[in-house]
Structure 1
């Protein structure tokens, strides 16, 4: 039905530090030098005194939580959730948010499908899915040559994570779509209940290009929810009103069930007052739509796609990995509460 991903996954990066297993006595023996006399201490340490907190120990503990997900099972939604991740401004973390939220949910028991609708194919890269020219992709799905199941590939991150990749062919798709019948609904026609039931995902994430063109409109028509990543900088707020107007137009004419369900603040730098100001403004305007979790700036998050991985497998003990895992958990819990209410 769906195909196995071709490229081999890069080995998961080991956390930068692990807790030492040697006892204090063994450590002193190893540290002794010729002619040095080591005198035993007369006072025994209690277990509480010996369990000293260190940043490395904390990071190792966090990495263990990510790499052994059976200790954290996220709740399944009672209905399948289809979310479009959109923002016409580039560099705000759309793709990073898409792949890391998807990986966080998939690593903890849920089945997730990512549809890469950006011609750059960055989501496909981060999930370790082949997207060279000629590979079955979302382009063939849009023009009706392939079904969703035929184009979907298993990510190298986890068997629970599927991806419909984007190839360079998608770059000219907007021009081709102009002359097609029901051009705004091509993706919706591919995401039928029957097609999704074959893959059986709990969550579907659609990663959009940084524009408000036909590809983004297709994503909004096919989804029920919009997730907006907002960078914690002033320029990120400027184009937000235009994005909201476009969402309202889609609601009015093409997809009345569409709604902005989630806003995630990304690239937060706690050293700047501007980040706090943007955070306060967004929370003041959008209220409970904004997730409590804020994604910090992180070099590890930026490095991970270069190894064909998400940050959750590249460096699971990093702040970026734990922040995206917290955001995924919050997203899942909110979804379950909404269904219950």
Structure 2
């Protein structure tokens, strides 16, 4: 099971959109996936069609975590009722795991929904043992090959908890002045977190979202991101297309949304998903 946190210390950069795009790609590739919505706003849960019920969401599990406890609140996304396997996505299945014969015939995309109940841990102060809560709640969930964690846009105990449980952290950025600064804060905080010698994230990367090639300012900021983070910048970047908001508004996977723009975005998310295995 690979655990990937999608994070940003700058709000409004489309962090949850990246989670949803990767979830769509995983569904397409038939990779059994769990989305853990740590953001108290619960936007990813809403777009995935899963709504938190009192006592059946991430916040309640993290109060008194037990081994594998997230299985008790994980619910299937309605996205799985519309599985699709066009020829263009078959490579994604092979890239993730060469032997896909053991995969379940019905795609698995479950959601551990987020809600305001997580707010009790969305603060800066924490005890070291608090950072093991999510890792403990995920332990033993062998049903899934991939776990995507949607982090809150703050350097809180929740965010650190996600990092402590993760094999990889993807920081989401936009090619804009404030987002570049936010990405520097995120990557610096991640480096300090790893420097504690208690926790270590094996890999990190920067996903650049909402790119407009026609903007000279964005081209400048894109160059700045590449100079700052070099090979950590994930290829491909994600263009600023309204079709992503349309698919989210309909609570629909982008890989199933019609049109050339959706197909282009879907292909990019599939490529990023493949890169998570290397």
TM-score tier, shorter chain, comes to 0.7 to 0.9
Q: Show the counterpart of 2:103.
A: none
Q: Which has the larger radius of gyration?
A: 1
Asked if 1:304 is matched to 2:227, the reply is no
1:316 and 1:322 in contact (8 A); partners too: no
- Match status 1:326 vs 2:268: yes
Distance 2:251 2:272 in 1: 26
| 1:166 and 2:88 matched | no
Higher relative contact order (CA 8 A, sep 6+): 2
In 2 relative to 1, CA 179–223 (structure 1 residues): closer, same or farther, beyond 3 Å?
closer
Q: Is the 8 A contact 2:125 2:156 kept in 1?
A: no
Structure 2 counterpart of 1:188, from 135, 147, 151: 135
CA RMSD in angstroms comes to 2.2
Q: CA deviation at 1:140?
A: 1.6
Aligned equivalents of 1:154 and 1:260: distance in 2? 29
Pairing 1:258-269 to 2, within 5 Å after superposition: 258-269=201-212
Q: TM-score, normalised by structure 2?
A: 0.82
- Cα deviation digits, residues 268-298 of structure 1 (max 9, x gap): 1122111111222222332222222121112
What is residue 154 of structure 1 aligned with on the other side? Answer: 76
Matched-pair contact (CA < 8 Å) for 1:101–1:325 = no
After TM superposition, give the deviation of residue 165 of structure 1 in Å. 0.3
CA contact (8 A) 2:26 2:32 kept: yes
Moved over 6 A (4+): none
Q: Closer, same or farther in 2 for the Cα pair 1:178/1:241, shift >3 Å? A: closer
**Displacement of 1:302 after TM fit?**
1.4
Partner in structure 1 of residue 91 of structure 2: none
Question: What is the deviation of 1:219?
Answer: 0.7
Is 1:273 matched up with 2:216?
yes
Show structure 2 runs of 5+ residues with no match: 81-106
Displacement of 1:179 in angstroms is: 7.3
Residues 1-341 of structure 1 correspond to what in structure 2 (within 5 A)?
Answer: 80-131=1-52, 133-134=53-54, 136-144=56-64, 147-158=69-80, 159-174=107-122, 182-192=129-139, 194=140, 196-197=141-142, 200-253=143-196, 255-313=198-256, 315-332=257-274, 334-336=275-277, 338=278
**Partner Cα separation in structure 2 for residue 294 and residue 233 of structure 1:** 14
Do the aligned residues in 1 keep the contact of 2:237 with 2:268 (CA within 8 Å)? no
